[in-house]
Structure 1
Amino acid sequence: MRVLLWHVHGSWTTAFVQGRHEYLLPVVPGRGPDGLGRARTWDWPASAREVTPEQLRDEHVDVVVLQRTRDLQLVRQWLGREPGRDLPAVFLEHNAPGLEPDDGPVPHTRHPLADQDRIPIVHVTHFNELFYDNGRAPTTVVEHGVVDPGERWTGELARAAVVTNDPVRRGRTVGADLLPGLAAVAPVDVFGMGLAGLHERHGLDPHRVVLHDDPPQAAMHAELARRRVYVHPVRWTSLGLSLIEAMQLGMPVAALATTEVVEAVPAEAGVVSTRPAVLWDAVRTWLHDEDAARSAGEAARAAALERYGLLRFLADWDALLEEVVR
């Protein structure tokens, strides 16, 4: 099957293109949002190939995975086909409601495809499906899958790790304001993109909070695994793939009990709470009790492999795509 999709979410796409299909990834001059092409910091197979808008006209496409309303327009413009009528299509919704400026208030957020029934909406968490007003659009959930980074935790560094992107811009959404409280109980390493200005914005001591801006994924995994504990201070997101990756690395996790986290992290794998002080107590415990950290990390890995394994993810998508193209 030839699947057209845009490179929107690098970590999710990394898992998706591991399947048995051929994946067509639009690329435009300058590699802007309309066509980023192949990833440069993830390892993608040759079956994920770049195509220009001009080349798409001559390509056979079986199904399109839409991820933004803009994609609807691009399919019409580049292929001359109407998604859901002339071309089988699904709309993959990555985000929790309320993250975009035009979303409207939660829990009354109406999905932009809510007023049609030709294109099913595919949510990545049950929380998202529940909280969006999906209208008359058919919906389903295909939970995340992650390429297993391997059991690599050593916990040799008695430090906490956080992964976040654009925390200065996103602020409270990703829990950037909670970092001072975490840093008071543990030295912290923050990994991600767009970290410049984080120290100044929240009065963080650069000796206490070390920033690792835009590391390659493989290098980040290696460094995460050396830290004693993974902390997920995010208030509002779909479900951070970095949390699942940390669990698969074998890290114990301390996470805010928001959105889908309560489903993703079982009690034996870490501590989940709406009270940051409870999370900080867990971090203190693991910093001083390596055996307890190891035990929780082993449970975290087992849980993440069972629920968010790559084979289950790809099988779910195969079944969905086959149903859509029939």
Structure 2
Amino acid sequence: MNILIWNVHGPWTTAFVTGRHRYLLPTLSGRGPWGQGRPTTWEWPADAIEVTPERLADTDVDVVVVQRLEEIALTARWLRRTPGRGVAAVYLEHTAPRGPAATSRHPMADRDDLTLVHVTAFNALMWDAGRTPTAVVEPGIADPGHRYTGELPAAAVVVNEPLRRHRITGTDLLPGLSRAAPLDVFGAGTGGLGERLGCETRIRGLGALPPQRMHAELARRRIYLHPARWTSLDLALIEAMQLGMPVVALATTEAPAAVAPAAGLCATDPGRLTRALAELVADPERARAHGAAARAHALRRYGLRRFLRDWDVLLERVVADHRSRRPRVDRRRDTHLRVVRPAVEPRR
């Protein structure tokens, strides 16, 4: 199958392109958000191919995976086929709604020509999609290996732009949590974070690291801390669990489903999180036991094989449904007749 997809979320796309298909990545001379092509920091297979807009019009595409609204117009212009009508399409939603959670209408609501795919059941629950067919395919990652040492009595946090995103990522909670354990914060925009929060001796911003180095550094910390209030399921959380790290997490969005009880603690009370951090820092053997449970759970639920299988099932159904309901001309009235298909649920 030939799949047109933009490189939007690097870790997610890295897992997706390891499947058995051919992945076409729009590429512009200046790169940028609409034509990044292949990344320079990840090792991708040869079947992930860079394609210029000029070549796309003459390229056979079976399905397009849309992740941003602007990609619909770009696909129509570059491929000369409208997603959902001229070519099979899914709209992949990575995030939870930012507006009123229970009443936010998704931009793809009430469409019968594509499938809306969510990365978590929580996101699917909160977005109002109307009658648009929906599916949930949970993330999956390649196993980074059981690399946990926990040699440093500190908690690791991974977050991008913590000062700009602030309450969304739980940045305001970090000073209080740092009283229980030093916090080493990785990710873009973390430089000078401790100084900005008035905790320069307890919070260190260590910046963004290449994946392999990031895994090694995370595994040296005793605990993984996930303080986000309102994000989707961060792949860094899954990576930390597969590395064998125990987890202390704020129980919001998908985190309660993602973090098994034996993996550490998932709670909405910052006081409980603070106490858990202190206890695990002081008890390396207990931390190691929680980390082993976290790894076993994450491998079962968020393994790469399951992820790719679920996407294969979904995309095969979407392409088959598109081919069976291509608009056909009613010569009497010159109108387009379409068949509305039910929602597709991937296999578990």
**Where in structure 2 are the equivalents of 1:1-326 lying within 5 Å?**
1-98=1-98, 104-205=99-200, 207-326=201-320
Deviations 1:95-147 (A, max 9, x none): 0111xxxxx42211100000311111000000000000011100010001011
Distance in 1 separating the partners of 2:76 and 2:192 = 41
Q: What SS does the corresponding residue of 1:49 show, helix, strand or coil?
A: strand
Q: What SS does the corresponding residue of 2:29 show, helix, strand or coil?
A: coil
Matched to 1:223, the amino acid is: E
Residues 163 and 192, structure 1, Cα contact 8 Å, conserved in 2: yes
Distance in 2 separating the partners of 1:134 and 1:203 = 43
Matched to 1:306, the amino acid is: R
Residues 168 and 197, structure 1, Cα contact 8 Å, conserved in 2: no
Deviations 1:198-249 (A, max 9, x none): 23432221x3222211111110000000000000000001111100100000
Matched to 1:35, the amino acid is: G
Distance in 2 separating the partners of 1:29 and 1:181 = 46
Q: What SS does the corresponding residue of 1:140 show, helix, strand or coil?
A: strand
Deviations 1:270-311 (A, max 9, x none): 100001111111111111111100100000000000000000
Residues 247 and 253, structure 1, Cα contact 8 Å, conserved in 2: yes
| RMSD after superposition | 1.0
Moved >4 Å (runs of 4+) = none
Q: What SS does the corresponding residue of 1:225 show, helix, strand or coil?
A: helix
Instruction: List runs of 5+ in structure 2 lacking aligned partners.
Output: 321-348
Q: What SS does the corresponding residue of 2:123 show, helix, strand or coil?
A: helix
Matched to 2:45, the amino acid is: P
Q: What SS does the corresponding residue of 2:72 show, helix, strand or coil?
A: helix
Instruction: List runs of 5+ in structure 1 lacking aligned partners.
Output: 99-103
Matched to 1:188, the amino acid is: L
Distance in 2 separating the partners of 1:62 and 1:90 = 11
Q: What SS does the corresponding residue of 1:91 show, helix, strand or coil?
A: strand
Q: What SS does the corresponding residue of 2:49 show, helix, strand or coil?
A: strand
Residues 4 and 61, structure 1, Cα contact 8 Å, conserved in 2: yes
Q: Given the two structures, how large is their TM-score scaled by the length of structure 1?
A: 0.96
Distance in 2 separating the partners of 1:261 and 1:216 = 25
Q: Given the two structures, how large is their TM-score scaled by the length of structure 2?
A: 0.90
Q: What SS does the corresponding residue of 2:23 show, helix, strand or coil?
A: strand
Distance in 2 separating the partners of 1:2 and 1:77 = 18
**Aligned residues between the structures:** 320
Distance in 1 separating the partners of 2:41 and 2:268 = 34
Distance in 2 separating the partners of 1:96 and 1:266 = 21
Deviation at 1:25, TM superposition (A): 0.6
Matched to 2:225, the amino acid is: V
Deviations 1:171-216 (A, max 9, x none): 10001111101211111110101123523432221x3222211111
